[in-house]
Each structure stands twice: as C-alpha cells, then as structure tokens.
Amino acid sequence: MSVGIDEISFYTSNYYLDLRTLAQQQQTDPEKYYTGIGQEKMGMPAPDEDIVTMAANAALPIIERIGSDTISTLLFATETGIDQSKSAGVYVHRLLGLHSNCRVVELKQACYSATAALQMACALVERQPERKVLVIASDIARYELGTPGEATQGCGAVAMLISAAPRLLEIYPEVGNFTDDVMDFWRPNYRATALVDGKYSTKIYLKALKKAWEHFVQATSASFTDFGRFCYHLPFSRMAQKAHQHLAKLNHTELTPVEIEQQIEDTLRYNQIIGNSYTASMYIGLCSLLEHCQENLSEQKIGFFSYGSGCVAEFFSGRVMPGYQQALHRQRHAQLLEARQAVSYDEYLQLWHHPDPQQGESLMIPHTTPGRFRLAAISHHKREYVIC
C-alpha cells in the first residue's frame, strides 16, 4: 500500500519587500541579495496575518474539496508559536470547521518539524488506511533590523493532505537521520527574533546533509543517480544550491554543473519571491518543482533533505505519481502571488514594528489581509480570529 501526499497547497502574505528596495536603503549593490543569496523578495505579514491565518488559508482549498469531516488528525508544525501551551492548530481546527473527534497537536524542532509531522502522518495512515491526516507548516521568519539575517526574512504556510493511494507523491519509509546539540540558530522565550551564527549554521547544515545522506544510504542502498530531482530546506535559495553541489561532490557525480543545477532550480522559484518560511520552506519548494517543471515528473524519484537548526536533519525520498498535474493548485498559487502588493521601506518598517501586546493590552487590528481568515484583535491575553 502506498502512502504519501495526496494534495498540497500554500499561502503567503499579501505584502512583500523587494530586496532592491532594501539594498537601496542600505546603499549596497542589490546583486548582494539577488545573486549572493539568491533572493528577490521577502514576504511581510499584514497586521492581521499570523501563522494561524496563513495556515487556515493554506488548508482551505483542501477542505473545500474533501469536506471538513474527513480529517482524523491535524499536525501543526511551526517554530513561530503563539502560545506556550495551546496548539496553534486548535485555532485552525475551529476556523476550518473540522470535526470534534479530530486530534490536534503542535510540533517544534526549528525548520525540521514539518518533516516529523509528515512521517507521523504517514504512520497514522499506514495504521488506518481509511483515515486522512492534514499536515500544516506555518512560520514567519523575523530577524533584527540591520543584521545579516534581515534580507532572509519571509513568511508562508503549506498544507498537505496525507492519505493512502496519494495522487501527488508516494513517501518511502526509509530515512536517514542526524541529530546534534549545536547552537547555530535559536530563539529564547523572551525574544521575538532569532539569534543566528550564519557561517556556523551553514557549516552545520552541510555536515548534517553528509551525515543524514550516509545514514540514508546505509538504510536503503540508494545512490545519487536514483534521483531526478532534489528538494532542500530553503533558508535562502543559495543555501540549497551550495548543499546540492556538496552532495554531488560527495557522490563523485559525473553530471556537469548545469545538470546539477537543473536538479534543483525549479524548487527555488517560489522561495526566491516569498523568502524564508522555516518549516514550510522545503514543501513550498516541492510545490514550486511540481508546478514549474516543464518535464513530466511522473514516476521520478525525488530526494528530500530537511534541516532544523539546533540540530535535527533527515534525508528521505518519494515517487511522483502519474497524473500528479491534475491534483495541483498551480493557478490558485499564481493568482495569490500576482495579487501581492509591494511595500516601500517606510511601510516595511511600520509592518515590522506593528504592536505585539506582551502584558495583556487590548489591540484592535484593522482589516487588511485579502485572505478568508484574519486576526481581528488581541484582548485580555486572548487572540481573536474571524472568518471574513
């Protein structure tokens, strides 16, 4: 019995900052961003957008197709948690009208947790093949102004329906894992922005890739040439390019540099104009691949490298299903991205500094997002979400 991703949909903010605008403000060459890190734009959430609203909007097309009573479990992956106790997924459960018998839980391990959720979902479906599990990854990447990480901000959510006999991608059970206690990126409870050692994090990312791949090969006897395409965690697009070149070198591939780039280039397109979305980034990359690749990917094997700082990493693989094109939301995603609005640098600062009550203050939030769901207010330590 095959188990995997039956449907996938993503959502991102209505606003974005073009990195040319940031470069102009910083009086630097925009190619530092466009070429240096491979990024063009970064999504900026509106005041009434957060991980819950983006998650619900990402999942909406799936629920509209299959109905709200078919989901047995909702697994919500994020590192931008809004509560130390209550799962963000419980808010989504209400907004989507899911059945009261649907279990909900939130998972956290930096950018890796969506992959943990995917594997758990596959296991649940293996146990009860008639069940369907909804996996949602939603995050807002936010760094201090003027820091090296500022240009790698972004936001987005991805929703995946996990089922038996999937229409998009069969997920194979064999994996390669690597865990190490390192401090390359972290965010203490008392901080709204992350701390990161950029050069060290890049080094650990590449080390984790090597170790996870070696473990994967031991578990599967697979080889680099078994895969036509690869998807990587995408803190910024250049990181995936560097990682894939590293993996190709480790495997002594005879592919040319152009052929190596072709194995990942279609996975980068959405990330380049959305920015980092942490747990969602690799799976938005999968959307990008399936929706942009001109080649028919049916029956091709795809290799996935999921990395979460701190760190946990996993290499796994899947097979693209015949007829996958019919299960995509290509037009909906294109319309979403086309409708976004560019912001000036001053507008970007206003969004970045938007009030975030920490002591129970009341805050009424203006209706800005065009999405179906929005954060309307924060009052008495409670977040109030509405359906538009």
- Residue ranges at the known binding site for (3S)-3-hydroxy-3-methylglutaryl-CoA: 29, 143, 242, 276
For residues 304 and 302, what is the distance between their CA atoms, to the nearest angstrom? Answer: 7
Question: Does residue 233 have an active-site annotation?
Answer: yes
CB 255 within 8 A of CB 274: no
Q: Which of 233, 244, 329, 333 is catalytic?
A: 233
Minimal CA–CA distance to 108: which of 74, 78, 141, 142? 78
Strand partners, 230: 303
Query: Angle, nearest 10°, between helix axes 281-292 and 113-127?
Result: 70
Q: How far is CA 44 from CA 149, 156, 165, 354, in A?
A: 14, 9, 37, 11
Q: Where do the DSSP E strands lie in 99-234?
A: 103-107, 132-141, 154-164, 169-171, 176-179, 185-186, 195-196, 229-232
CB 232 within 8 A of CB 244: yes
Q: How far is CA 55 from the centre of its chain?
A: 11
Q: Which of 7, 49, 79, 150 is catalytic?
A: 79
Question: Does residue 40 have an active-site annotation?
Answer: no
DSSP state letters, 95-130? HTT--TT-EEEEE-BTBTHHHHHHHHHHHHHHHSTT
Name the amino acid, one letter, at 137.
Answer: A
310: left (phi over 0), alpha (psi -120 to 50) or beta: left
Query: Angle, nearest 10°, between helix axes 281-292 and 330-338?
Result: 110
CB 221 within 8 A of CB 176: no
Q: Could you tell me which residues are annotated as the binding site? A: 29, 143, 242, 276
Cβ atoms within 10 Å, residue 238: 18
Pairing of strands 382-387, 363-364: unpaired
For residues 275 and 75, what is the distance between their CA atoms, to the nearest angstrom? Answer: 23
Helix or strand or coil: residue 33?
helix
Pairing of strands 301-308, 229-232: parallel
Q: Which of 111, 122, 293, 311 is catalytic?
A: 111
CB 269 within 8 A of CB 324: no
∠ CA 227-230-236 to the nearest 5 degrees? 165
Question: Does residue 111 have an active-site annotation?
Answer: yes
For residues 40 and 385, what is the distance between their CA atoms, to the nearest angstrom? Answer: 31
User: What is the set of active-site residues?
Assistant: 79, 111, 233
